[in-house]
């Protein structure tokens, strides 16, 4: 009998500091990991606990999987103390990722905030893998301060292939780009809204105001894709902690269109 709770042994191959509170962990699972972009895994820190993360790496790379993690809770704090060579566990992948076919031939607006960039990096790797399938890709990314920006080395590379706009809530003397919350970037360019989808991931408050802004601009609720965050244990639709109304974030999500969740209670918590 398959035991869905049993994790796969994985070795931490590399730890990449992104910001003072965010690190990317490169993991090598014993048997590799096949996943679709936007699906998530349950990561076990042995003896400590489990937490769900959406890989930030490309799904075309299956022998390694990367997660980008903020030191914010019990499990993530202990993970942040771990080093190369340490052992963790992985279960999954679980849930439904981004429905890429829905994005074909459209202008894809990717809107990220803070560590919410993690799943979007995986999505962008996927979009960049065959950019010809999409009419246009625009990335808008915001962080609190310049020091809080993740994947700093990657952004200039992407600028050569897609449009990238960055903002910080509070600029310093080094900052040459936009200052303001990430949604203010949406006033800086034109987009063919009727032929566009918006993909949003960030802290709940950012997702809330981004969604309202997108609706104001004329996006239809079914064209706004949100990564919902909830307390989660099992990852397989049983423990019920992640429920939003009658939907399981782990099984029916974690990616939902706004039209799927807009009538449900407490979606922005």
Partner 1 sequence: MDKDRCFWVGSAEWGDFLGRLVGEASVYALGGEGGRFFYRQLIRKDIGDIVYNPVRAVQPLKSFIFSPREEVVGPSDREGRKQTIIVGVKACDISSLEILDRALKETDLPDPVYQERRQRIVLISSDCSEPQETCFCTLVGRAPYPESGFDLNLSKVDGGFVVAVGSERGAELVDSHRSLFREATAEEIARRDRDRGDILRRVDRINESVAQKRSYQEIVKDSYSSELWVKHSESCVECTACNNICPTCHCYLLDDVSGAEGFVKVRSWDSCVHTGYARVAGGLNPRPHLWERFRNRYLCKFLYMKENFGLLGCTGCGRCIEACQGKIDMREVLQELAG
Query: Which residues contact partner 1 (rule: CB under 8 A)?
Result: 1-7, 44-51, 72-76, 89, 204, 229-231, 233-234, 236-241, 243-246, 265-266, 269
- Parallel/antiparallel/unpaired status of strands 107-113 and 163-168: unpaired
Q: With respect to partner 1, which residue has the nearer C-beta, 168 or 247?
A: 247
User: From the CB of 85, what's the least distance to partner 1, in Å?
Assistant: 17
Closest CA to 128 of 231, 58, 197, 206: 58
CB 114 → partner 1: shortest distance, Å? Answer: 11
Is 15:83 a contact under the CB 8 Å cutoff?
yes
CB of residue 2 to partner 1, shortest distance in Å: 7
Query: Shortest distance, CB of residue 9 to partner 1, whole angstroms?
Result: 8
CA angle at 10 for the pair 148 and 129, rounded to the nearest 5°:
60
For partner 1, the closer of residues 20 and 156 by Cβ is 20
Q: 115 or 165: whose CB is closer to partner 1?
A: 115
Is residue 203 packed enough to be buried (19+ CB in 10 Å), middle (13-18) or exposed (0-12)?
middle
Token look-up 């990367």 returns: 66
Cα four-point dihedral sign 128, 189, 113, 228: negative
Residue 152 Cα to chain centre, angstroms: 16
Of 141, 23, 3, the closest CA to residue 76 belongs to 23
> Minimal distance in Å, beta carbon 158 to partner 1?
28
CA 240, distance to chain mean position in Å, is 22
The nearer residue to partner 1, 129 or 240, going by C-beta atoms, is: 240
Shortest distance, CB of residue 76 to partner 1, whole angstroms? 6
Per DSSP, what are the bridge partners of residue 198? 109, 224
Nearer to partner 1, 197 or 247 (CB): 247
Instruction: Decide whether 6 or 60 has the Cβ nearer to partner 1.
Output: 6
Burial of 248 (0-12, 13-18, 19+ CB in 10 A): buried
């Amino acid at each position: 009998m398959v035991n869905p709770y049993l994790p796969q042994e994985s070795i931490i191959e590399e730890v990449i500091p992104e910001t003072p509170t965010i690190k990317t962990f490169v993991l090598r699972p014993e048997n590799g990991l096949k996943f679709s972009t936007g699906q998530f895994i349950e990561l076990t820190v042995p003896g400590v606990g489990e937490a769900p993360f959406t890989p930030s790496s490309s799904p075309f790379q299956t022998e390694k999987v990367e997660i980008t993690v903020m030191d914010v809770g019990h499990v993530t704090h202990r993970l942040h103390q771990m080093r190369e060579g340490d052992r963790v566990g992985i279960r999954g992948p679980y849930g439904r990722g981004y429905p890429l076919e829905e994005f074909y031939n459209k202008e894809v607006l990717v809107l990220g905030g803070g560590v919410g960039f993690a799943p979007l990096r995986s999505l962008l790797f996927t979009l960049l893998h065959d950019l010809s399938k999409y009419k246009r890709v625009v990335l808008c990314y915001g962080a609190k301060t310049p020091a809080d920006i993740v994947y700093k080395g990657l952004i200039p590379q992407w600028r050569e292939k897609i449009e990238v706009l960055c903002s910080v809530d509070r600029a310093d003397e080094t900052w040459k780009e936009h200052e303001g919350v990430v949604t203010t970037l949406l006033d800086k360019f034109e987009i063919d809204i009727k032929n566009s989808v918006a993909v949003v991931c960030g802290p709940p408050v950012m997702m809330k105001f981004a969604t309202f802004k997108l609706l104001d601009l004329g996006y239809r609720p079914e064209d706004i894709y949100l990564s919902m965050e909830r307390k989660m244990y099992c990852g397989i639709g049983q423990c019920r902690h992640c429920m939003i109304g009658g939907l399981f974030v782990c099984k029916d999500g974690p990616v939902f269109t706004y039209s799927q969740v807009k009538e449900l209670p407490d979606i922005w918590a």
